[in-house]
Amino acid sequence: MLTRPVGRPSRKPVFRLKSFLYQAASWTIARRVVAKVEFHCREELFPRVGFIVTNLALDNRVVVRFYNKRNTSEQWIKETKQAVALTRLSCHRFRANEVRLWLSLIAYNLGNLWRRLVLPKRVATSSLTSLQQRLVKTGGRLIQHARYYWLLLADSHHTRRLFADILAKIAMLPSPAG
């Protein structure tokens, strides 16, 4: 199962699934384990191997698909907690913690709205935490003139083009009717 497929490596990942019964020393009964081996590209020397312990009596592919969906939802929860410090409710009063939680959720929703409306496709799938690192925590200098502001970034800064793309997308958004 761990040997590479014969021939030239495929451009698409190759998945192999195998299920078996396994009983760890601390378990009272043997449980079903679904092993997933992924061969991705020719640059990767070793395959990616993962194991799922389950009691579902479904086909291996269905089990992997089910747990991948579950993992995706857990990743969204983790991103929410990390991006806006959702679990940081350090106030002594319930009402203050409630307000902080609401503000965190509003910030998270605004971040997702911003990601969907104005981010270029190449970074639209990035997590909000990585977007904070790339865009919000960027060093620069803001210069105020009589009628406008200038945001100066270093010439070698890697997000310079990204900022320009975001500003262009913001300019293309329809203005609210009023």
Confidence class of residue 70 from pLDDT cuts 50, 70 and 90? confident
Residues 55 and 99 in one domain: no
Whether residue 169 contacts residue 123, with contact meaning beta carbons closer than 8 Å, is answered with no
The pLDDT of 4-26, averaged and rounded, is 82
The pLDDT of 78-89, averaged and rounded, is 83
Cα 44 to Cα 14: distance, rounded to the nearest angstrom = 13
Question: Does residue 167 have a pLDDT over 90?
Answer: no
Tokens at 77, concatenated? 């929860």
Best CA proximity match to 52, nearest among 29, 68, 34, 32: 34
Q: What is the CATH number of the domain that holds 58?
A: 3.30.1300
Q: Is residue 42 part of a domain?
A: yes
Residues 140 and 99 in one domain: yes
Q: Select from 31, 49, 74 the last residue of a domain.
A: 74
Q: Is residue 67 part of a domain?
A: yes
The DSSP code sequence of 99-138 is HHHHHHHHHHHHHHHHHHHHS-HHHHTS-HHHHIIIIIT-
Q: What is the pLDDT of residue 66?
A: 92
Confidence class of residue 4 from pLDDT cuts 50, 70 and 90? low
Residues 46 and 122 in one domain: no
Q: Is residue 6 part of a domain?
A: no
Tokens at 128, concatenated? 């909000």
Residue 28 structural domain: 14-74
Q: How far is CA 159 from CA 4, 18, 134, 149, in A?
A: 39, 44, 7, 19
Give 100-128 pLDDT, tens digit per residue.
989 988 988 998 888 888 888 888 888 88
Q: How far is CA 30 from CA 23, 25, 107, 130, 162, in A?
A: 4, 10, 46, 41, 52
Q: How far is CA 97 from CA 79, 89, 101, 104, 127, in A?
A: 20, 5, 6, 10, 25
Question: Does residue 10 have a pLDDT over 70?
Answer: no
Query: Strand locations in 23-98, DSSP E?
Result: 31-39, 48-54
How many domains would you assign to the chain? 2
Residues 60 and 106 in one domain: no
Element (H, E) at 63: helix 60-83
Point out the least confidently predicted range of 7-16, 57-66, 77-86, 106-115: 7-16
Point out the least confidently predicted range of 22-36, 95-109, 124-138: 124-138
Give 142-155 pLDDT, tens digit per residue.
899 888 998 887 76
